[in-house]
Amino acid sequence: MSGIGLLLSTARDALLAQQTALDVVGHNIANVNTEGYTRQIPVLSARDPAPYAGVVLGRGVDVDEVVRNVDNLIEERLMQRRSDLKAMEEEEAYMAALEALLNESSSGSLSSHLTDFWNAWHDLANNPSGLAERSALYERGALVCQALNDLSGDFDQLEKQINLALDAGVDQINELTAEIAGLNEQIAGLGVFSTPNDLYDKRQALVTRLSQYLDLQYYEDADGSLTVTTGRGYVLVSRDDSYDLSFDGTDVRWESSGTADLDITDTITGGKLGGWLEMRDVILPSYERDLNELAENMIWEVNQTHSLGAGVEKFTSVTGAYSISDSGEELGTVDSGLAFYDKITDGSFKLWLYDDTGAVSASTTLTIDADAGGTTASSLASAINAIDVTHLTASVSNGKFTITASGGYSFAFSGDDSNVLAALGINVFFTGDDAESADMNSALESNKNLIAAARVGTSGQIATGDNTNALAMADLQYEEISMTHYIYTRGSSTPTSSAVTETISSYLYSLESSVGIRSQSITRSREYNEVIAEELSETRNNISAVSIDEELANLIKFQHAYSAAAKLVSTADEMFQTLLETR
């Protein structure tokens, strides 16, 4: 091709190239408000030159490709930041709910009920025989138990809510990966020389949505398809195949083709799933364990002190609140089955037996050997039975230690330094050994006079107006005891622990404070990540979003080029006509 023909060909190619460029500009303008759309740019290049009449002449312009104006590094950083942000948002929401449950300023909080409980012991100490004070104390104790039960139930409910969210989240992930695999198939089917930019945008939008559920990585294959993996490398999408996740109620599992599914729960750290799992497996268990530590120690301290005292009325029958799994095993060993077996030490207690006139009939010091080969429930029952075979009977019935007096006789206890009475649940105030099981001793519900405000004297007498034990109970609020704080981590069922010496109330306060501090920390992290994400989003928009001003400038630029190319066509036509006329 030479001369006028070359000029006409160059003009034609220029028209087509500028028309394509105008089409791209129009497409950009049309999608200025389309979520996830990436600005497209026509890439123009000069065609290879050709020799003519001793010189090398250019042959016009080609549109090599239409590309998405995208910075992949910014896209990946923004996706990762938004994934982390989603995790923090979920943690923040659940922490707010947890903080509300433990709100110490609420009149119905555990903290307020515990304060009322200690105050009720002071009231009873001021009037040890008062039935009204005893009834009020019982109700205050019941409210403490109910608050513990409610909190335990609330923790369980939060865990159930998270598990429901995990189940729904896994379903969403599977839907998204299936869609991405479908787009991979479409893109690969168009061939390696095609640039289906709108399909790329649609696929990238799906990947972004997917990253809101978990941390992930991705890379583009030679055929244009995208391989997507979790943050730890478990493949979710490969070409036109997607690999589902499943949730079995506890674990998130990866269902690989040809192999057994794998538990990947502890590898998920980002996105909503990462936030839910951090809350379910780390934050909630840590605080729930602390709540149970509080409940266990409160129950034990109150029961141990209560077991040292005596009520307005003596016992005619008492049944232990705690179950014994094997009456032939030493009481101070785990094999006994007692919840507080480890509290039993070598020591003794005194059992006082009173006749039908209220006079002391017998008193016996019962020695407890907590070591191996020591006291069992059966041997203790035998020792008590030997005190008075006619009027006093002890046995283990249905797993509970029972003592019964007959013939109008009654009995009381004093001086237990072995802790065996409290461990058996005899003459105790509370039952249970954690927040869920905390309850009142049912014997006190039917007879408030069994609440132990007094103590048995050295001669077996129980003096009217004696408030010794009530004062000791009231002073428990100031007693510092050894307790433990627990922290769980992902991937381990065994928490780290730190021993503390605190009062029961200060331990509760530190638990509540820890929740508040952690909640604030998560909020600050969320706010920081939000700022970073906004900055990255702005950077991304500056690169990839459609700018109307810029597109209008391009419109004018390509329109002028199109007009100039059209002028070339008319010029070539005039030259051709002139050439014809000369013939």
d(CA 540, CA 71): 7
d(CA 235, CA 264): 12
- Residue 423 shares a structural domain with residue 570: no
What confidence tens digit (pLDDT) does each residue in 304-338 have? 999 999 999 999 999 999 999 999 999 999 999 99
Q: What is the pLDDT of residue 534?
A: 96
- Residue 358 shares a structural domain with residue 495: yes
Q: DSSP letters along 288-345, please? A: HHHHHHHHHHHHHHHHHHHTT-B-SS-BSEEE-SS--S-TTSBTTSGGG--TTGGG--
From the list 415, 430, 419, the residue with the least C-alpha distance to 341 is 419
- Asked if residue 281 is part of any domain, the answer here is no
- Asked if residue 559 is part of any domain, the answer here is yes
Q: What is the pLDDT of residue 419?
A: 98
- Residue 455 shares a structural domain with residue 569: no
- Residue 311 shares a structural domain with residue 375: yes
- Residue 559 shares a structural domain with residue 441: no
- Asked if residue 146 is part of any domain, the answer here is no
For residue 47, what is the DSSP state? Answer: P
- Asked if residue 228 is part of any domain, the answer here is no
- Residue 458 shares a structural domain with residue 575: no
- Asked if residue 550 is part of any domain, the answer here is yes
Domain boundary among 505, 537, 572: 505
- Residue 466 shares a structural domain with residue 552: no
575 C-beta neighbours (distance < 10 Å), count: 14
d(CA 179, CA 175): 6
Q: What is the pLDDT of residue 440?
A: 98
Residue 405: what are its φ and ψ, rounded to 5°? -105, 150
- Residue 43 shares a structural domain with residue 119: no
Is 284 within 8 Å of 155 (Cβ atoms)? Answer: yes
Is 310 within 8 Å of 452 (Cβ atoms)? Answer: yes
- How remote is the C-alpha of 328 from its chain's centroid? 43
Q: What is the mean pLDDT of each run of 10 residues along the chain (583 residues)?
A: 73 92 96 95 89 75 93 95 97 95 77 96 97 98 97 97 98 98 94 84 97 96 94 95 95 82 95 98 97 98 98 97 96 96 97 97 96 92 96 96 97 98 98 98 96 97 96 97 95 92 96 94 96 96 95 96 90 78 71
373 C-beta neighbours (distance < 10 Å), count: 7
Number of domains in the chain: 2
- Residue 313 shares a structural domain with residue 446: yes
Helix (H, G, I), strand (E, B) or coil at 127: coil
Q: What is the pLDDT of residue 104?
A: 62
Domain boundary among 505, 532, 561: 505
- Asked if residue 164 is part of any domain, the answer here is no
Look at the alpha carbons of 220, 223, 228, 232 in this order and tell me if their dihedral is positive or negative: negative
Measure the CA angle with vertex 418, ends 415 and 419; round to 5°: 90
- Asked if residue 415 is part of any domain, the answer here is yes
Measure the CA angle with vertex 41, ends 39 and 46; round to 5°: 175
Residue 66: what are its φ and ψ, rounded to 5°? -115, 115
Look at the alpha carbons of 138, 143, 144, 149 in this order and tell me if their dihedral is positive or negative: positive
Q: What is the pLDDT of residue 367?
A: 97
What confidence tens digit (pLDDT) does each residue in 100-140 have? 998 765 667 899 999 999 999 999 999 999 999 999 999 99
Q: What is the pLDDT of residue 491?
A: 86
- Asked if residue 251 is part of any domain, the answer here is no
Q: What is the pLDDT of residue 122?
A: 98
541 C-beta neighbours (distance < 10 Å), count: 12
Rg for the chain (alpha carbons), in Å? 40
Q: What is the pLDDT of residue 257?
A: 64
Give the structural domain span for 551. Answer: 4-69+546-581
Is 438 within 8 Å of 361 (Cβ atoms)? Answer: no
Q: What is the pLDDT of residue 456?
A: 98
Q: What is the pLDDT of residue 493?
A: 85
Q: DSSP 3-state helix, strand, coil percentages of the chain (rounded to 5)? A: 50, 20, 30
- Residue 560 shares a structural domain with residue 455: no
Identify the bridge partners of residue 50 per DSSP, sorted by sequence position.
57
Helix (H, G, I), strand (E, B) or coil at 218: strand
- Residue 480 shares a structural domain with residue 565: no
- Residue 479 shares a structural domain with residue 558: no
Q: What is the pLDDT of residue 105?
A: 59
